[in-house]
Structure 1
């Protein structure tokens, strides 16, 4: 009854009757191969292939089962498997005309697909698309791989809408297809939606952690960030690097470089503390990243964290011991560290390193008046401060001593300043205030015995008596409150 329905092309009825026959006798391979034939006529090759496999379990030599299974694989696009099944048929029956014809057709399709792949790789996108369209006519169901290939040819020809439709169609049927996710990511990336592109790349790598195209796209994101950095579009570069970091959180090698690049952006933006955090993350992923160690040392120097800078440069030299630039920078950092550990004369006077000679004099006069012992009787802290103020002025008012102090030369030799343990700072102050060399500074003097203006030079340490003061002295009208 099933055979009669098949001949009458009533395939649905035939399938129903073949299924009834199988229920009555599950040991007959013929029932399965016949039902497979009916299923193939209704373009249901996946179910038909399952019947062919069941038939072969019952009779491994069944030519009908092999031939129909080969055809199912062919129409499903399983070309390698189809080749294997046809080969079995031809080994058993070398003159089987159906097998020979279909096998030749299979080889033609396989050659065309190989040629399409070659064209796609070599930029012949239109020809690749034409080949895929031609071979697709042989199949009941176009393989997902071929759909991906076709979408890639459309993408390269700027036909984003159709390429996007194919990608979405695949993903609706299979959310675990990494190729479709990468295809969708490429389209979104071109359209400028970097955030969604990153999400699809991340999903692709979840499905296949070794997916090369997802990693290539990740590299493309990094390159795009580099281009934005070169154009000094730092906001865009930061955004791209941030999105790229989300694509593959487990990729230590790439992410260390991304953190490094993003830290360079933050340095350019003046966000030094944030930049340090990114450098820390880069070095967590790659402790031997010399470039980042050097950049972090440079940033620490800008933040005046000289000890940290020295540590980073020493660590970098342990990795790259022949790098002379690192040695020079380490020497400079160590010198700055020494300088930082001594008294900061600029800070004592409350001025910047770029203060003029006039500014230095004004600052000394103001600070010395504020902390003079006559005005702060019994205040030991004021006495110490008064002494430091005089010491700071003695160095910064002398061009030679100031240059030695600024360059750090004094750190390698004798003290470039005066020995304030052997000089009375009150006498020092009086000589400053009564010097005939001061010109008018326009600020006026204090009430009482101070002159009304300042200017000129400052007596050197040679002019001071070499005596140790047992304390500060009041000099009559030197200070009037």
Structure 2
């Protein structure tokens, strides 16, 4: 009655050693074992009483034991059917009258928490059992399962080996160790192939690792990330994005993959998608300066993409020289000049775009601003190409270049115009 159940149990055991048929000692011993979590021993003692006491079924403490056993049976059924919330509820009901919670029930609750992806609490329970009983194979397997799901295969294998050292026939430990070792071997081989630049082999090894256990979400997310990097190295950006989609589907908080997918989006010129990924990464790690810098760059690229690509209009690379830009403009302007394309509205539009592109790229200051993405508004220096005659602009260009070549005006008046 003073809740010193261990001492009480010792007294009951001494009483039974003096009088093995004492019903009071048997009943009190059963109760002590019950509250101490020794449920099978409590059941054994109640069974001895029932052989001489037909009214045992009316005993409230015996009913309580049967109720606890029923809750445990329910919890086991719920675990088998992956109904983890119901399993936890049944276990909590089972342990409520107990002073000491049996390790079996602790481990069952840890398994249910693992099923609910509450890894920290499941780890706490496994470690608690192992501190009190370092030889508990089931606790070692529970810890191994958590580590396996978290992607730490080496430690998972170590705990499986400990479980098998204490219980060589532990089938769960044996199966888990085999899977963890297979994934670790394939992943490490893939990493080695990647390091030496053998991307084809690396891709195959990562694919094999993914096939070992499709249910291992976190580990597979990392492997998809690794394979995506291989595809990036091969220039297969669209395929890399597909792998990173799968990685993030398995682990939406995988910041490295968000950044890597943003890089692939930039290469695919999907600038808004890149910005979205980097903003999501910033939400997860707002103090990361590298992510902030990458986001600013992606936003700048998005802003650039929202305007016309003057390099593409002139058909020159971004590192084109001033002379190359002039030559490109002259060639295209002559080709699309309205005098040569009478009545062709498409040529007229193209002629205007070519003049607009040269007005920017042909001016070193405007070109520098255009390239940097700064001051995008009013880039034409106040010149509105919808209201200016592009033919006049072309004539200005031809006169300036003819004069600079020392050819004189040739009947044309040479003008020098500065727009803006």
Per the shorter chain, which TM-score range?
0.5 to 0.7
Report the Cα distance in structure 2 between the residues aligned to 1:344 and 1:240, rounded to whole angstroms. Answer: 41
**Is 1:337 aligned to 2:295, yes or no?**
no
- Contact 2:304–2:373 under 8 Å retained in 1: yes
1:32-431 pair list within 5 angstroms: 211-411=176-376, 413-417=377-381, 418-431=383-396
* Residue number in structure 1 paired with 2:419: 461
**TM-score, normalising length: structure 1:** 0.47
Q: Distance in 1 between matches of 2:217 and 2:187?
A: 14
Residue 121 of structure 1 corresponds to which residue in structure 2?
A: none
Q: Deviations over 1:395-426 (max 9, x none)?
A: 11111111110111122x54354332453211
Relative to structure 1, is the Cα distance of residues 250 and 360 closer, same or farther in structure 2, using a 3 angstrom cutoff? Answer: same
Shift of 1:216: 3.2
Residue-by-residue CA offset, 1:190-224 (whole Å, 9 max, x unaligned): xxxxxxxxxxxxxxxx9879613421331232122
Q: CA deviation at 1:378?
A: 2.7
Secondary structure at 1:279's aligned position in 2? helix
Q: CA shift at 1:282, angstroms?
A: 0.7
Counterpart Cα distance in 2 of 1:458 and 1:312: 48
State the alpha-carbon separation in 2 of the partners of residues 431 and 214 from structure 1: 75
TM-score by length of 2: 0.54
Q: Structure 2 unaligned runs (5+)?
A: 1-156, 161-170
Q: How far 1:376 moved relative to its partner?
A: 2.1
**Residues 404 and 384 of structure 1, relative CA distance in 2, 3 Å threshold:** same
Report SS of the residue matched to 1:354. coil
Report if the CA contact (8 A) 2:224-2:243 is conserved. Answer: yes
Tell me how many residue pairs correspond in the alignment. 246
CA distance in 1, matches of 2:284, 2:416: 50
Instruction: Give ranges in structure 1 of 5+ residues lacking alignment.
Output: 1-178, 183-205, 441-448, 452-456, 463-481
SS of residue paired to 1:229 = helix
Q: Secondary structure at the match of 1:410?
A: coil
Partner residue in 2 for 1:3: none
Larger radius of gyration: 1
Partner Cα distance (2:417, 2:177) in 1: 75
State the Cα RMSD in Å.
2.9
CA-to-aligned-CA distance 1:337-396 (integer Å, 9 cap, x gap) = 111111111111122212222221121112111221222223333222211111111111
8 Å contact 1:397–1:458 — kept in the other structure? no
Q: What is the CA–CA distance in structure 2 between the aligned matches of 1:356 and 1:365, rounded to whole Å?
A: 14
Give SS of 1:409's match: coil
Query: Is this contact kept in 2: 1:434–1:450, CA < 8 A?
Result: no
More off after superposition, 221-230 vs 400-409: 221-230
> C-alpha distance in 2, partners of 1:420/1:331?
30
